[in-house]
Chain A
């Protein structure tokens, strides 16, 4: 079963606009929520991450908003640029127990930013 659900599957925004990608999770044991960015032909790379003890984390134009009670988190890209065009994955993991760092990924969102 898909423990992390991501939407939308694809997103088109104009340069300068705000891109918003949403994720919802089921496993309340998850305690680390990273976002990965992937360009064509490349492996995913960590973009930004959040732990559930904070409701928001911002790094430059990228912000994660986290709602623990709703079990949802989202990525906001402010002032979107054509260079942000990529596939974005949310993910989650349980740092405790015998997780060994295993990530559970969402389905991915293909973002296209038009100039």
Chain B
């Protein structure tokens, strides 16, 4: 699993409570991503990071924030959880250097963590 762990693996919480999910990598890669997986929608990008303290929004970022204070950890926070945020959350890392404008010449693999199943009641 390319040295990616997610915690917790399962969580049940109530509407309105804050929730933080943690992604930890042992590979020292620069690029990290948070996706959510929902039936009929595939995986959708929430936020991503291209370095320590460098983050940006993805396709479905409303209601989520992230932080990356060190290379190995990427935290996803739901400030006030809602039932619509019930989902399976995956963290991923990219093993490549996505320097702006770089032309890729080989496979570009994203390694995914095992996921966190979050239920908001």
* Residues of chain A whose beta carbon lies under 8 Å from any beta carbon of chain B: 4, 6, 9, 31-32, 34, 41-46, 49, 51, 89, 93, 95-108
Of B12-20, B78-86, B95-103, which stretch is located at the interface?
A: B95-103
Contact yes or no, B112 A97, CB < 8 A:
no
Could you say which of B44, B101, B112, B115 contacts A96, with CB atoms under 8 Å apart? Answer: B101
> What is the total of A-B residue contacts with beta carbons within 8 Å?
82
* Residues of chain B whose beta carbon lies under 8 Å from any beta carbon of chain A: 1, 4, 31, 33, 35, 39-45, 48, 50, 56, 58-59, 90, 92, 94, 96, 98, 100-104, 107-115
Which residues of B are found within 8 Å of A98, using beta-carbon distances?
100
Instruction: Tell whether A101 pairs with B110 under 8 Å between CB atoms, given A43-B1, A43-B90.
Output: yes
* Distance A4 CA – B44 CA, assembled complex (angstroms): 11
* Distance A100 CA – B43 CA, assembled complex (angstroms): 17
* Distance A103 CA – B104 CA, assembled complex (angstroms): 15
Q: 28 interchain pairs (CB within 8 A)? A: A6-B42, A31-B104, A41-B114, A43-B92, A43-B112, A43-B113, A43-B114, A43-B115, A44-B112, A46-B107, A46-B109, A89-B42, A95-B102, A95-B104, A96-B100, A96-B101, A97-B100, A100-B56, A100-B94, A101-B94, A101-B96, A102-B33, A102-B48, A103-B33, A103-B43, A104-B45, A105-B35, A108-B42
* Seed contacts A45-B111, A96-B102; 10 additional CB < 8 Å A-B pairs: A4-B42, A32-B108, A34-B108, A34-B109, A93-B108, A95-B108, A96-B103, A100-B50, A103-B45, A105-B42
* Distance A34 CA – B112 CA, assembled complex (angstroms): 14
Could you say which of A32, A41, A42, A105 contacts B44, with CB atoms under 8 Å apart? Answer: A105
Which residues of A are found within 8 Å of B103, using beta-carbon distances?
95-96
Which residues of B are found within 8 Å of A51, using beta-carbon distances?
104
Contact yes or no, B110 A103, CB < 8 A:
yes
For the complex formed, measure the closest distance between the CB of B113 and the CB atoms of chain A, giving whole angstroms. 5
Which residues of B are found within 8 Å of A108, using beta-carbon distances?
39-40, 42
Closest to A98 in B: B100
* Distance A106 CA – B43 CA, assembled complex (angstroms): 8
Instruction: Tell whether A107 pairs with B40 under 8 Å between CB atoms, given A43-B1, A44-B112, A95-B103.
Output: yes
